[in-house]
């Protein structure tokens, strides 16, 4: 089940791109709350904040949580209708922050598995490199917690971005360092993001 909280900061005309070029500062603070008692706060709290001008036109993104902004949950290999979520490396979440995704003018090449088989979640070791973001442990209260040794190393196919014209409203991951098993496009993900 998709759960998210979104914050949109709409500023008065004098604040958004002021013609008098006066700098203004806007501070926003909030305290995230758990949606369910057993869920940790980082999983439950997804947020994006962006600026719009007086006419409601997108200006810029000022903050986006890591799941979308750094780890590319909206644009990663796999089908959008496969179950996915925090801690699961495959299946793009194309319903994440839909208002923001459609408001901004940027789009990105669509990430797909290197072998082009988005229906298959089992990938050869020659296409899967170590992925420290998805390694264990999960959380201290998790039944699979392994004392923070990262003993369970995850290997994932980071995908490729073919020039077939398929686009995504979401940026790719920006946390990757390419390995020999990865496609050459992985090295460009951060610059695209």
Could you tell me if 84 and 103 are in contact, meaning their C-beta atoms sit under 8 angstroms apart? no
**Does the pLDDT of residue 2 top 90, yes or no?**
no
Q: Pick the closest to residue 154 from 131, 137, 176 (CA basis).
A: 131
Q: Work out the number of other CB atoms within 10 angstroms of the CB of residue 31.
A: 6
**Model pLDDT, residue 11:** 41
Backbone angles phi, psi at 25, to 5 degrees: -125, 135
Cα→Cα distances 129→89, 121, 181, 187, Å: 12, 14, 6, 13
SS3 readout for 3-43: CCCCCCEECCCCCCCCCCCCCCCCCCCCCCCCCCCCCCHHH
The residue with greater pLDDT, 133 or 142, is 133
pLDDT digits (tens, 9 = 90+) for 84-122: 655 678 888 898 899 999 999 999 999 999 998 888 877
Confidence label for 141 from pLDDT (cuts 50, 70 and 90): low
DSSP 54: T
- Which residue, among 108, 106, 112, 107, has the nearest Cα to 92 in the 3D structure? 112
Please check the confidence at residue 48 and state whether its pLDDT lies above 50.
yes
pLDDT of res. 24: 76
Residue 21: per-residue pLDDT: 73
Q: In the prediction, which pLDDT does 153 show?
A: 74
The pTM of this model reads 0.73
């Amino acid at each position: 089940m998709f759960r998210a909280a979104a914050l949109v900061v709409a500023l008065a005309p004098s604040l958004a791109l002021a013609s008098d070029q006066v700098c203004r500062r806007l501070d926003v603070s909030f305290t995230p709350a758990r949606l369910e008692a057993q869920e940790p706060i980082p999983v439950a709290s997804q947020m994006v904040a962006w600026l719009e001008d007086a006419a409601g036109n997108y200006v810029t993104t000022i903050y986006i949580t890591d799941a979308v902004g750094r780890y590319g949950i909206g644009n990663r290999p796999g089908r959008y209708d496969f179950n996915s979520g925090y801690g699961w490396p495959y299946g793009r979440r194309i319903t994440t922050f839909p208002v923001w995704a459609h408001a901004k003018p940027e789009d990105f090449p669509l990430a797909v598995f290197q072998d082009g088989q988005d229906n298959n979640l089992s990938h050869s070791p020659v296409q899967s490199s170590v992925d420290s973001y998805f390694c264990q442990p999960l959380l201290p209260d998790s039944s699979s917690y392994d004392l923070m040794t990262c003993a369970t190393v995850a290997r994932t196919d980071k995908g490729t971005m073919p020039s077939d014209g398929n686009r995504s409203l979401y940026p790719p991951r920006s946390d990757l360092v390419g390995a020999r098993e990865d496609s050459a496009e992985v090295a460009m993900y951060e610059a695209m993001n």
